[in-house]
Amino acid sequence: MLKNDLILRAAKGEAIERYPVWLMRQAGRILPEYRAVRNSLSGFKELVETPELAAEVTIQPVDILDVDAAIVFSDILVVPEAMGCEYQMIEQKGPWFENTVKSTEDLVQLAQTDFDVEDRLGYVTEAIRITNKELNGRVPLIGFAGAPWTIFCYMTEGHGSKTFSEARKILYTNPTLAHELLSRITKVTVAYLKAQVAAGAHMIQ
Give me the catalytic one of 120, 154, 184, 192: 154
Q: Give percent above pLDDT 90 in the chain.
A: 91
Is 91 within the bounds of a domain? yes
Q: Catalytic one among 18, 19, 29, 114?
A: 29
Q: Over 90: is that where the pLDDT of 113 sits?
A: no
The pLDDT of residue 188 is above 90: yes
Average pLDDT over residues 112-125: 94
Residue 30 lies in a domain: yes
Would 104 be classed as within a structural domain? yes
Active site residue 29: yes
Q: The domain spanning residue 98 has which CATH number?
A: 3.20.20.210
Overall domain count for the chain: 1
pLDDT computed for residue 15 by the predictor: 95
116 carries an active-site annotation: no
Q: How many CB atoms lie within 10 A of CB 176?
A: 9
> Domain range spanning residue 124?
6-204
The predicted structure's pLDDT at residue 29: 83
Q: Does residue 163 sit within a domain?
A: yes
In a domain, 93, yes or no: yes
In a domain, residue 1? The reply is no
Q: Point out the catalytic residue in the list 5, 75, 87, 184.
A: 75
What value does the mean pLDDT take over residues 107-134? 95
Does 38 participate in catalysis according to the annotation?
yes
State the pLDDT confidence band at 151, using cuts at 50, 70 and 90.
Answer: very high
**154 annotated active-site:** yes
Is 138 among the catalytic positions? Answer: no
